[in-house]
Amino acid sequence: METSVTLYGASGHGKVIIDILNCSSVAINAIIDDNPKSEKVLEIPVLKSSDYNFQNLKNTIISIGNNKVRKKISNLYSVNYVNAIHPTAIISKFATIGKGTAIMAGTVINPDATVGNHCIINTSSIIEHDCKIGDFVHVSPGVSLAGNVTIDEGTHIGIGATVIQGITIGKWVTIGAGAVIINDVPDYAVVVGNPGKIIKYNKQDE
């Protein structure tokens, strides 16, 4: 891991990133934000992005929980995006992790799992063998993905949801908290319940 990192986003998610970096003895160069709501986050000064010299932006993590916003910012700035991985996370040496991804405390990522760029794999979630997680996905705390699950770009899996083996979940899907997914889910669907049922579709503006 790099010895110093710049965060883009002074958010609650950013606080967790700061904690991960502190646990890994990684210095934080700066926190930048388009519309700062406070002058500091966990005692680290926040700089307004309009006042920041982006030539200084090197090793960077987009510390924003919103999947769409992470995608937008990553498309704006071609820099070296790096990962934040909590030291208590268990990641198989046979797993593949993309750039700009945050992996929280207590997560497990098993062999031949693939996690894309700018993802959030949140606290105590389980990504089993052969899962394929697309870019800009957020897997919330306590989620369990059985083996061979595929999740496409931008999807949000809600806290405590469970997905059985072999399921494919499309892009920009929202899976509700505690849902149990036993069937494939099409693009943009919003799914809740046990078993999971589609209740509506997200706007297709990505």
From 86, 118, 129, 156, active-site residue: 129
d(CA 132, CA 202): 22
d(CA 139, CA 147): 15
d(CA 205, CA 182): 27
Sign of CA dihedral 34, 38, 39, 41: negative
In the numeric block, which tokens belong to residue 184? 């494939």
**129 classed as catalytic:** yes
Sign of CA dihedral 179, 125, 12, 46: negative
Torsion of CA 177, 206, 120, 53, to 10 degrees: -140
Q: Enumerate the active-site residues.
A: 129
